């Protein structure tokens, strides 16, 4: 690769670039090649903004369950010219079904006329498939694996990332897209704490009150899992009878069944608890979790009563993982030339399916504000841009966080959970419609790409960053889609 200093060997230590050959735009260093980091990279590539993505892992593990993407991300995919491919990879979902351990359907929550109200349908897509889809939108030479960041620093001239092998990389902007335990956030917060600028709540550890086991089966025959024959995704949620578990299954376009099991803990914990043990999260821990839940019933449409144990048997062991479901929205998203997105600044329980969606929305908004920066932005310039980004995104992140907690309560056990499910089951249609609108009204677009036509009857919410313009007309993007 060729970096900002002209040094071709990426493992070498970099120095400041010569003023004689300044970049046309500030180079963006993205830490983390997850869904949010890849989406930002895709957009910066479209905007002709230089960037590099650094990922700690040597390779991306093809694990995870499935997620639902709605009209709130469809406009982005249309702008980038990849919507039709996305649809070919997903399976349309029109409802979520709630059942019990007797394999009986208790009620169905319909998503309404999504295409009429918002212009697009909802789709369930396997997480590994979505990751591969986004990964292919970013030039391979821009993604660097096995780069372990130990520290970050910044000054008036730019940002630097320091690596475990002694390498130092420089740029104009640093983006932390490196997950719930972001090293970028930790480094940034250390700087803020030293300056007495870090809010007390941001210094508290990430809490979690649920654990999750996720996986995806091999390709199955309809005779093994008859519900795969249904044209629409069969999104099933089963609530445990007097046990602290709920579990979900999703049929996918690729004839696999994605599944997830959530365990609700008695007390809130964090990785900083004295009782926390890393051995709880290795392959052996996942195997133990599998044994706990293998007899839980599922609804498959088969005459043979299937259980989660059948799904586990049909799933390669290296595609099963146990994860913590942390929950927190941080107040501080940026400092100087450093800014956060996705799980690094808001970690949501996946019950509402909002985590990945909000990471993509962060990337759209942040790309817009970076696009509007001048060629040589000062810290004042980046602070103003990142403040605008935070102000645009944090209300939506907090609303999604609250919504995910409602879904979490609905899927858990106890009196309040039963009350929420009862309310959902008998909710008037006009209230259902209002909730659906609120969940789909934020449909952001990139300001530097041709606008995707909005055919929905419900207009999208205002998006301040959609009005962003290139600081210098000569820098306007020439990318095509």
| Category of 17 on φ-ψ map: left (φ > 0), alpha (ψ -120 to 50) or beta | beta
Residue by residue, pLDDT tens for the chain (481 residues) are: 334 333 233 333 333 333 344 447 899 999 999 999 999 999 999 999 999 999 999 887 767 788 889 999 999 999 999 999 999 999 999 888 989 999 999 888 887 677 788 989 999 999 889 999 999 999 999 999 999 999 999 998 899 999 999 999 999 999 999 999 999 999 999 999 999 999 999 999 898 888 899 999 999 999 999 999 999 999 999 988 888 898 999 999 999 999 999 888 877 777 776 556 555 556 788 999 999 999 999 999 999 999 999 999 999 998 899 988 888 999 999 999 999 999 999 998 766 567 889 999 999 999 999 999 999 999 999 999 999 999 999 999 999 888 766 555 665 566 666 676 666 666 677 667 777 787 889 999 999 999 998 888 999 999 999 999 887 655 555 443 3
Calpha distance 186→205 (Å, rounded): 11
**Tell me, what CATH number does 344's domain have?**
3.50.50.60
* 282 and 359 inside one domain: no
* DSSP reduced 3-state for 354: coil
Q: Which of 193, 176, 315 is nearest to 258 (CA)?
A: 315
Contact, 80 vs 41, CB < 8 A? no
Residues 6+ apart with CB under 8 A from 388: 369, 464, 465
Contact at 8 Å (CB) between 152 and 188?
A: yes
Backbone angles phi, psi at 270, to 5 degrees: -155, 165
Distance CA 211, CA 448 (A): 40
- For 278, other C-beta atoms within 10 Å of its C-beta total 8
Same domain, 210 and 274: yes
Domain end point (choices 304, 326, 348):
326
What three-state secondary structure class fits 45? helix
CATH number of the domain to which 241 belongs:
3.30.9.30
Q: Are residues 392 and 333 in the same domain?
A: yes
Cα 472 to Cα 354: distance, rounded to the nearest angstrom: 35
The two tokens of residue 239 are: 């609530």
Q: Looking at the structure, do residues 164 and 225 belong to the same domain, yes or no?
A: no
Check whether residue 256 and residue 316 sit in a common domain. Answer: yes
Q: How far out from the chain centre does Cα 205 lie?
A: 20
* pTM assigned to the model: 0.89
Statement to judge: residues 286 and 339 lie in one domain: no
In a domain? residue 481 = no
Q: Determine the Cα–Cα distance for residues 425 and 98; give it in Å rounded to an integer.
A: 10
C-alpha 269: how far from chain center: 22
In a domain? residue 164: yes
Rounded to an integer, what distance in angstroms lies between the CA atom of residue 328 and that of residue 326?
Answer: 7
Residue 396 falls inside a structural domain? yes
How many domains is the chain partitioned into structurally?
Answer: 2
398 and 256 housed in the same domain: no
> What is the predicted pLDDT for the residue at 264?
85
378 and 288 in one domain?
no
Residue 148 has what pLDDT? 94
Same domain, 425 and 377: yes
Domain final residue pick, 270, 301, 326:
326
Domain span holding position 114 = 66-70+90-126+206-326
Q: Are residues 308 and 188 in the same domain?
A: no
């Amino acid at each position: 690769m060729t970096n900002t200093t002209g040094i071709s060997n990426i493992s070498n230590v970099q120095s400041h670039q010569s003023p004689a050959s300044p970049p046309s735009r500030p180079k963006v260093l993205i830490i983390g090649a997850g869904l949010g980091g890849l989406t930002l990279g895709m957009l910066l590539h479209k905007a002709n903004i230089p960037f590099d993505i650094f990922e700690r892992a040597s390779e991306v593990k093809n694990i995870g369950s499935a997620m639902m993407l709605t009209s709130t991300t469809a406009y982005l995919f249309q702008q980038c010219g990849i919507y039709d491919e996305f649809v070919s990879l997903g399976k349309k979902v029109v409802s979520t079904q709630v059942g019990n351990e007797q394999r009986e359907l208790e009620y169905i929550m319909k998503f309404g006329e999504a295409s009429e109200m918002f212009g697009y349908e909802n789709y369930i897509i396997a997480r590994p498939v979505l990751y591969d889809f986004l990964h292919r939108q970013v030039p391979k030479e821009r993604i660097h694996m096995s780069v372990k960041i130990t520290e970050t620093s910044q000054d008036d001239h730019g940002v630097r990332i320091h690596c475990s092998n002694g390498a130092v990389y420089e740029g104009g902007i640093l983006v932390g897209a490196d997950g719930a335990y972001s090293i970028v956030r930790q480094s940034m917060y250390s700087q803020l704490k030293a300056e007495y600028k870090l809010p007390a709540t941001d210094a508290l550890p990430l809490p979690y009150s649920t654990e999750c086991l996720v996986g995806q089966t091999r390709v199955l025959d309809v005779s093994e899992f008859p519900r795969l024959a249904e044209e629409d995704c069969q999104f099933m949620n089963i609530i445990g009878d007097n046990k602290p578990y709920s579990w979900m299954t999703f049929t996918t376009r690729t004839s696999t069944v994605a599944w997830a099991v959530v365990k609700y803990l008695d007390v809130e914990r964090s990785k900083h608890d004295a009782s926390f043990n890393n051995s709880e999260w290795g392959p052996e821990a996942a195997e133990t979790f599998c044994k706990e839940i293998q007899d839980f019933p599922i609804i498959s449409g088969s005459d043979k009563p299937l259980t989660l144990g059948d799904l586990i048997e049909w799933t390669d062991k290296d595609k099963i993982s146990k994860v913590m479901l942390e929950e927190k929205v941080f107040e501080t998203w940026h400092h100087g030339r450093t800014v956060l997105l996705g799980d690094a600044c808001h970690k949501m329980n996946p019950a509402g399916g909002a985590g990945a969606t909000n990471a993509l929305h962060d990337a759209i908004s942040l790309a817009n504000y970076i696009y509007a920066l001048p060629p040589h932005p000062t810290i004042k310039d980046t602070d103003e841009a990142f403040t605008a980004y935070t102000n645009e995104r944090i209300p939506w992140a907090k609303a999604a966080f609250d919504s995910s907690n409602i879904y979490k309560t609905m899927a858990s056990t106890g009196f309040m959970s039963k009350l929420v499910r009862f309310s959902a089951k008998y909710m008037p249609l006009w209230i259902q419609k209002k909730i659906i609108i609120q969940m789909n009204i934020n449909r952001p677009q990139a300001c530097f790409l041709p606008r995707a036509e909005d055919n929905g009857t419900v207009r999208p919410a205002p998006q301040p960053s959609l009005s962003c313009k290139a600081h210098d007309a000569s820098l306007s993007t020439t990318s095509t889609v």
